[in-house]
């Protein structure tokens, strides 16, 4: 009996010990796998580093030769070396072209990409407001017979068809310019609404629309008893991001309507009937 118990205990202990050994063995396996992985990665990186170092050396030699106005084809540039040099020159050229392209896009230029072997062209409009780059709108133009817009991601409330009708066939450059102007204005108005919501706590945006050309704001007027003032801003000119009319409503007061006009370096709102100007800084 005792021996059976002993055997059983040994068995259980033994079993437990075997399990423990097995578990640790798994850990060991993991460890050695990880080690292999790290080793392999180190080898790859080492090879990459060596390759880049070699390329950099070739480029440095090229720079040296060009700076000293030496011929690029000489005895030192044996067959293999010369091809490396050519590759570097092409890379330099490619880099400059890429830089130029990027510069063009950063200054707000349109991006044109030919697709379907010349049968259509994709135009991208990058928008920005006060240095912050915003949405990019894309448009595909079908060129098979007449120029036609086939696809785009411009919001439906935007008067794209009317702009296309005006200029698309006659004056492509003017069409693109009008679109760029209006899309940038739209992005700017939208951004202003976002900024208003984020930064100005005392103003609540009650209503806005997709084109952001009507904005209804609830402001709190500073007086003995804070009063709620409802401001409605209308943006009559879609190519601009400043309002053309402002309407102010407050309980117990007459509704005031103003036209926004520009005077020297600031904007004034003036009553329709008389030119009483109130300066508003925007």
Partner 1 sequence: MEQKYEEEIQMLQQEIEMLEAEQEETLRYIFMEHGDRLQRELKSVYKERGGAQKHTLSKLITETEINGITLNECFVKTLHKSERKLVQQLRLAGHCSVLLFQVEFAVTEIQEDDALLRRVTELNIVVDGVEFKDFSAFVSRVEDTKDLTLLFRTLRTFSERCEERRQTFQHFQEKYPDVVSLPEGCRSELMIIRSPQLPGISMTIFWKIDVSMEGVVKPSLELLLKMPDQAREFDTKKVMENGSDYFQSLLRVLGVEASIEGLIRTVCL
For residue 15, give the 3-state DSSP assignment. helix
Spatial distance between the Cα atoms of 123 and 176, rounded to a whole number of angstroms: 9
Cα dihedral 190, 192, 194, 196, rounded to 10, equals -150
Interacting residues with partner 1 between 68 and 107 (CB under 8 A):
69, 72, 86, 88-104, 106-107
Rg of the chain over Cα atoms, rounded to whole angstroms, equals 35
Spatial distance between the Cα atoms of 134 and 148, rounded to a whole number of angstroms: 26
Nearer to partner 1, 15 or 46 (CB): 46
Runs of H (alpha helix) within 164-210: 172-199
Q: How far is the CB of 181 from partner 1 (least distance, A)?
A: 6
Q: How far is the CB of 112 from partner 1 (least distance, A)?
A: 6
With binding defined as CB under 8 A, does residue 42 bind partner 1?
yes
Say if CB 241 and CB 185 are below 8 A apart. yes
Say if CB 112 and CB 126 are below 8 A apart. no
Q: How far is the CB of 15 from partner 1 (least distance, A)?
A: 32
The one among 13, 17, 112, 206 contacting partner 1 by CB under 8 A: 112
Nearer to partner 1, 17 or 112 (CB): 112
Q: How many CA atoms lie within 13 Å of 86's alpha carbon, on the beta-carbon side?
A: 8
In this structure, what token pair is assigned to residue 45?
């990186």
With binding defined as CB under 8 A, does residue 172 bind partner 1?
yes
| Per-residue contact string for residues 114-153; x = within reach of partner 1 by CB under 8 A | x-----------xxxxxxxx--------------------
Binding site for partner 1 (CB under 8 A): 31, 34-35, 38-39, 41-42, 45-46, 48-49, 52-53, 55-56, 59-60, 62-63, 66-67, 69, 72, 86, 88-104, 106-114, 126-133, 172-173, 176-177, 180-181, 184, 240-242, 262, 265
């Amino acid at each position: 009996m005792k021996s059976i118990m002993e055997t059983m205990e040994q068995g259980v202990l033994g079993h437990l010990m075997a399990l423990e050994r097995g578990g640790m063995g798994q850990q060991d396996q993991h460890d050695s796998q990880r080690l292999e992985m790290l080793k392999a990665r180190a080898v790859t990186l080492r090879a990459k580093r060596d390759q880049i170092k070699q390329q950099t050396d070739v480029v440095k030699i090229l720079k040296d030769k060009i700076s000293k106005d030496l011929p690029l084809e000489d005895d030192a540039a044996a067959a293999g070396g010369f091809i490396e040099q050519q590759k570097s020159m092409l890379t330099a050229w490619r880099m400059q072209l890429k830089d130029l392209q990027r510069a063009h896009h950063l200054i707000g230029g349109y991006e044109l990409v030919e697709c379907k072997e010349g049968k259509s062209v994709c135009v991208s409009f990058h928008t920005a407001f006060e240095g912050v780059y915003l949405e990019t709108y894309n448009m595909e133009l079908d060129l098979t017979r007449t120029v036609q817009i086939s696809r785009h991601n411009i919001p439906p409330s935007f008067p794209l068809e009317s702009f296309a009708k005006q200029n698309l066939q006659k004056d492509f450059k003017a069409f693109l310019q009008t679109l760029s102007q209006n899309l940038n204005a739209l992005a700017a108005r939208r951004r202003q609404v976002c900024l208003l919501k984020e930064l100005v706590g005392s103003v609540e945006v009650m209503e806005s629309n997709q084109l952001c050309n009507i904005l209804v704001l609830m402001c709190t007027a500073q007086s003995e008893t804070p009063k709620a003032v409802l401001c409605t801003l209308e943006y009559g000119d879609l190519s601009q991001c400043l309002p053309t009319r402002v309407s102010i409503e407050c309980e117990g007061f007459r509704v005031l309507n103003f036209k926004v006009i520009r005077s020297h370096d600031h904007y004034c709102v003036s009553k329709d009937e008389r030119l009483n100007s109130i300066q508003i800084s925007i």
